[in-house]
Amino acid sequence: MNGAHVLEANQLVKRFGDFTAVKEVSFAIDQGESFGFLGPNGAGKTSTMRMISAVSQPSSGRLSIFGLDPRTHGPEIRARLGVVPQEDTLELELSVRLNLEMFGRYFDLPRKLLRERASELLEFAQLSDRANDKVDNLSGGMKRRLTIARALINRPELLILDEPTTGLDPQARHLLWERLYRLKREGVTLIITTHYMDEAEQLCDRLVVMDHGTFVAEGAPRELIASHSTREVVELRFSTDSHEGLHDRLAPFARRVEVLPDRILLYVDEGDDTLREIHAAGIAPTSALVRRSSLEDVFLRLTGRTLVD
Amino acid sequence: MLTREIPRFGSRRSYHIVERNFTVYRSQWLMLVSGFFEPLFYLLSIGIGLNHLVGNITVGGRIVTYATFVAPGMLATSAMNGAMIDSIFNTFFRLKISHAYEAVLATPLEVTDVALGEVWWALARASIYAASFITCMVLLGDSPSYWVVLCWPAAILTSLAFSCVGLAACTYIRSWQDFDLVALVQLPLFLFSATFFPISLYPKWLGVIVSFSPLYQSATLLRGFSLGQLDWMMILRATYLVAIAGAGLWLAARRFRSILLP
């Protein structure tokens, strides 16, 4: 692709009847980049993913993948993509190995090559010793790893992962992250949706925050934290039930104060300094925690704390 | 610039669906084998059993045993049942329960490839079953004519028509309960399509209605070949089955697209 965009979306819209799931979003993704889509449930992430997987057609707008139009070159584009859907769609009746080999046949790859690749990918997914087991008997983490391995059978140039680690335990998540780093180092372009903020911070070079079908923020994780939050956050808890009354007393110490039912968040630059000032002013919280601001703070700031569905 | 390709229905890649189904069924070979016993059960129970009670029957001015009369009807019914079970039951499972097709559509295959592939698979199975059924018919002495070999393509055509219709019907099924509706269509079709008695026994008006039944057309076509009674109407009957297949496949592909690619 020689520095050209792997993917370019212009004023992309997806409508389902009267409902508009994706509202005129534009973005471009470079070769080798790992790009994240963040957002609460129903923000339009999956609809966007399905369009850029060349599976569903945009209602309007322009989309180009590898310089090709998915409307006319769907099969050619999909031949070069790997897709990890939100829910596992493995063949439950088939063995682990056959899941990989059979999937490769859809790409017209020869059986001999697929046997070799399947062995490599089983190694990659740490499933070699389960190769002949039925998929039905695997744990959730193993199924997820197999789904990712399956998406790699055609050596994709672009890997699209829709919530790859939802429902996994910490060990399984870290193993997956490590595998995704490896792919990134090999030059595979990654597109990831997630609502785990640590995952986005770990994996994404650049990300967009989506809400109600549009992008509400865009940038590198550190940039987003810098522009939408402060460097540090002080979390205070008090023995009183009425945290509300404390808002005005704490306001002078922070750039922004957020009162939650169980605790008060102070957005500040130097947490330890702030904490000293608070103590000096005679305010005595029962517990205090100083932490670095995270993408989660940005996310909640931008998309609100109300439960979406 | 390139002009857009002429829209085709499915591509060579649809073959991979056949391959997929074969791979899955290889581990469930018992289900495949059961298909071979079905004709024997039909022919032995209805053919031999009723043969004693009913005796001989006149078809097209010729007297034949009841077993000879009924065997092609059973072949048509068996082709219909096999095609319907495969296309409705199994496809419903892949379409709405296991989401097997969703994964397939992330590969170069298109929706039309999936629909066409399922039909190829149904035909592959049907041709094997039909061959074994016809062999049983011949061995049991139930078909007096060499034209019986043409029962084979005719039975495959029957399967084609019913699997295309079944594929379309399967997209309308919302849950397992809806399979009762399928039985509600299939049973009268089986009972009233003159598969096990001549249509001439019906009053004229009912005969006209029955003649629209694809199962009746199929049974009559098969009976013609089995008894060696050929006529020009057979071309019309075969064309009718082809038309039903085409309409079913067209509708199926449309419905598949709207379900899988909203």
How sure is the predictor about A159, in pLDDT bands with cuts at 50, 70 and 90?
Answer: very high
Residues in chain B with CB shorter than 8 Å from the CB of A91 are 20, 24, 98, 100, 103
Question: A103: nearest CA in chain B?
Answer: B104
Residues in chain B with CB shorter than 8 Å from the CB of A105 are 16, 19-20
What distance in Å separates the CA atoms of residue B79 and residue B81, rounded to the nearest whole number?
6
Contact residues, chain B to chain A, C-beta under 8 Å? 2, 4-5, 11, 13, 16, 19-20, 23-24, 27-28, 98-100, 102-110, 261-262
What are the residue boundaries of the structural domains of chain B, listed by start? Answer: 32-260
For residue A260, the 8-state DSSP code is -
What is the per-residue pLDDT for B235? 92
| Sign of the dihedral defined by the CA atoms of residues A42, A43, A44, A45, in that order | negative
Termini Cα distance of chain A = 41
What distance in Å separates the CA atoms of residue A155 and residue A203, rounded to the nearest whole number?
20
Q: Do B19 and A108 touch (CB under 8 A)?
A: no
Q: Do B16 and A106 touch (CB under 8 A)?
A: yes
What are the residue boundaries of the structural domains of chain A, listed by start? Answer: 5-219, 230-292
Q: Which phi and psi (to 5°) does residue A205 adopt?
A: -75, -35
What is the per-residue pLDDT for A102? 93
> What is A230-292's CATH number?
3.30.70.980
What is the per-residue pLDDT for B3? 39
Q: Which phi and psi (to 5°) does residue A35 adopt?
A: -120, 130
Question: A21: nearest CA in chain B?
Answer: B262
Q: Quick check: A2 pLDDT over 70?
A: no
A231 inside 8 A of chain B by CB:
no
**Mutation target among A15, A106, A154 for the B interface, most CBs of B within 10 A:** A106
Q: Which of B23, B100, B110 sits opposite A75 (nearest CB)?
A: B110
Q: Quick check: helix, strand or coil at residue A34?
A: strand
| Residue tagged 């170069």 (tokens) | B108
Q: Quick check: helix, strand or coil at residue A83?
A: strand
**Mutation target among A81, A93, A159 for the B interface, most CBs of B within 10 A:** A93
Q: Which strand (E) or helix (H) includes residue B246?
A: helix B233-260
For residue A95, the 8-state DSSP code is B
pTM, two decimals, is 0.80
pLDDT tens, position by position, B19-68 = 998 888 876 677 667 766 777 787 788 777 777 788 788 877 788 888 88
Q: Do B106 and A85 touch (CB under 8 A)?
A: yes
Report the percent of chain A where pLDDT is more than 90: 36
| Residue tagged 């041709």 (tokens) | B127
Structure tokens at A51: 């369009």
Residues A5-219: name the CATH superfamily: P-loop containing nucleotide triphosphate hydrolases (3.40.50.300)
Residue B100 distance to chain A (closest CA, Å)? 6
Q: Which strand (E) or helix (H) includes residue A207?
A: strand A206-211
Question: Complex ipTM above 0.85?
Answer: no
How sure is the predictor about B2, in pLDDT bands with cuts at 50, 70 and 90?
Answer: very low
Residue A115, C-beta contacts closer than 8 angstroms, at least 6 positions apart: A101
pLDDT tens, position by position, A278-307 = 888 888 888 888 888 877 788 788 777 665
Residue A42, C-beta contacts closer than 8 angstroms, at least 6 positions apart: A308, A309
- Could you give the residue ranges of the DSSP H alpha helices within B29-90? 29-42, 50-54, 66-84
Residues in chain B with CB shorter than 8 Å from the CB of A92 are 98
Q: Do B102 and A85 touch (CB under 8 A)?
A: yes
Distances (CA, A) of A257 to A183, A248, B98: 41, 9, 48
How sure is the predictor about A120, in pLDDT bands with cuts at 50, 70 and 90?
Answer: very high
A136 inside 8 A of chain B by CB:
no
pLDDT tens, position by position, A214-273 = 998 888 888 888 888 888 888 888 887 667 777 778 888 888 888 887 888 888 888 888
Termini Cα distance of chain B = 30
Nearest to B226 by CA among B157, B137, B148, B139: B148
A41 inside 8 A of chain B by CB:
no
| Sign of the dihedral defined by the CA atoms of residues A16, A19, A23, A24, in that order | positive
A107 inside 8 A of chain B by CB:
yes
Q: Which of A53, A57, A105 sits opposite B106 (nearest CB)?
A: A53
Burial class (CB in 10 A: 0-12, 13-18, 19+), B127: middle
